[in-house]
Amino acid sequence: MATHSDGILVSASGVSTPIETNGHAVEKVVKCLPADFYTDFLSDVAKERKPSPIRGLFPLENKPGVISLLAGKPNDVMFPFKSLSFNIASPTDPSHEQSISLSGKDLSAGLQYGPTGGLPRLLKWFIGLQALSHGRKSGEGWSLTMGSGSQDLIYKAVNALVNPGDAILVESPVYAGVIPMFEILHCEQIEVETDANGVCSHLLRDILENWPVGKPKPKVLYTVPYGCNPTGMTATLERRKEVLQLAREHNFLILEDDPYFYLYFGKAARPLSYFQLELDEPEVGRVIRFDSFSKILSAGMRLGFASGPKPIIDAIDLHTATANLQASSLIQAITLALVEEWGYNNFFAHTRAVADFYREKRDAFESALNEHLGGLAEWCTPEAGMFFWFKLLLSPNQAPGVDEGDSEDLIRTKAYEGGVLALPGTVFLPNGRETAFVRASFSLCTEEQANEALKRLRAVLLKQRGEA
């Protein structure tokens, strides 16, 4: 049995998990890829990183009776903060507020340097959350660490896995925030087209089966499988299984960036995550999952966590230890006070309320789309997240289903001059090619603002088409 880099027990080479067969509980053995499997996946930089001579010894301070002269921690008796309190909305009755306070040892932990991977009690809570949300239990070959938002952790994972010049698989269109990560490493970004059902697995198979002989295949695939930014797509269960099969056949890891998991509001049951689905594979350990609290608690708190194979999580922690030391202890302490007050049931009640809120926002925005851009644009209805991805029919003679023309000048210049701001689709395409698509966020605008924005966009588009 192995431990987290800061002493949290969460990893093993194999574990038995109870399952039901004909009404009887039997033990299903979860087979985990061995630690040395990841040696070829780690980047040269990750292999060269050494443990912090101070932070690597932090767990030793926990031994009873030890007097620590180790770290240069300031004495917390001189911190001016003696207690903190804040009000939170009840997850079951938003009109009712609850008061939560931080003081004593809990506040001290929040004001002091802490373990690189996170406060132990919060780590334990997140591990329990992954068991409830994804069916993954401690002891199934995975570990967990916290970061200053999931973007922080994705950046460190990319640096841990990708060497300069490597080829990397990215769904396309792709979240624009990761494109600079790959560009700065001069990666060859291999675009895998997506549609309303997720990554087009048949195209991914074509790419990999026709890969140039002698050229190293990509080691990772980056994807946002729920409410994708920018397309709003949620990958189907079938597509996810096909991608997992290809990961095993062609030996790559999946970076599952999932900030919108809890913002799923589709009519059908939410598809299982890659992190959960790999339990049905011959072995687990090909998925590194990134969760964010930005969309459900606070974007400004900057708290996210990564779950995945221990060697990869350890590499992320080594990066953190030499870059920013840890995620904010105070933010962790506040989050811990909140989730321990709520418990898992109330946490899920809150996320359901969040999803319902964005479903109503989605419906209002789509109603405005139908009213103002019906016949002038094409789109698929998102089942999660905060975005509509729609194609402007820039020409009155444009055939349905054809991505003809470029929305960039119309959106960046003409629409903005007309009083509406959105993003042209080209910024979400790694090769920057022309596209008639546009991304619009519906998270903040009121129903009235959505109608006015799309009314203005309609006027600009009609002028572009020569129909004003």
Cis peptide before 173 (omega within 30 of 0): yes
The angle subtended at Cα 83 by Cα 82 and Cα 87, nearest 5°, is 160
pLDDT of residue 128: 97
Percent helix, percent strand, percent coil in the chain, to nearest 5? 40, 20, 40
Distance between CA 165 and CA 184 in Å, rounded? 10
**How many CB atoms are closer than 10 A to CB 243?**
26
Parallel, antiparallel or unpaired: strands 253-257 and 287-292: parallel
Cis peptide before 120 (omega within 30 of 0): no
**Residues 6 or more apart in contact with residue 373 via CB below 8 angstroms:** 390, 454, 457, 458, 461
Tokens of 75: 């004495």
pLDDT of residue 27: 62
Global pTM value: 0.92
Q: Which residues pair with 24 in a beta bridge?
A: 21
Q: Assign 86 to helix, strand or coil.
A: strand
Distance between CA 103 and CA 83 in Å, rounded? 5
**Residues 6 or more apart in contact with residue 265 via CB below 8 angstroms:** 355, 356, 358, 359, 362, 383, 384
Distance between CA 265 and CA 355 in Å, rounded? 6
User: What burial letters (b/e) apply to 168-187, b meaning 16+ CB within 10 Å?
Assistant: bbbbbbbbbebbebbeebeb
Each residue's pLDDT tens digit, 381-422: 999 999 999 999 998 887 766 668 899 999 999 999 999 999
Each residue's pLDDT tens digit, 28-67: 789 999 999 999 999 999 999 998 888 888 888 889 999 9
Longest dimension (CA), the chain: 82
Q: Which among 44, 2, 34, 90 is positioned nearest to 343, based on CA atoms?
A: 90
Distance between CA 282 and CA 32 in Å, rounded? 9
Distance between CA 435 and CA 408 in Å, rounded? 8
Contact 143, 309 (CB under 8 A): yes
Distance between CA 94 and CA 100 in Å, rounded? 16
Parallel, antiparallel or unpaired: strands 423-424 and 437-441: antiparallel
Going from the C-alpha of 158 to that of each of 15, 161, 333, 408, the distances in angstroms are 29, 5, 28, 29
Q: Where are the alpha helices (DSSP H) in 39-139?
A: 44-48, 104-111, 120-134
Query: Which residues does the chain have with pLDDT short of 50?
Result: 1-16, 18, 21
pLDDT of residue 20: 52
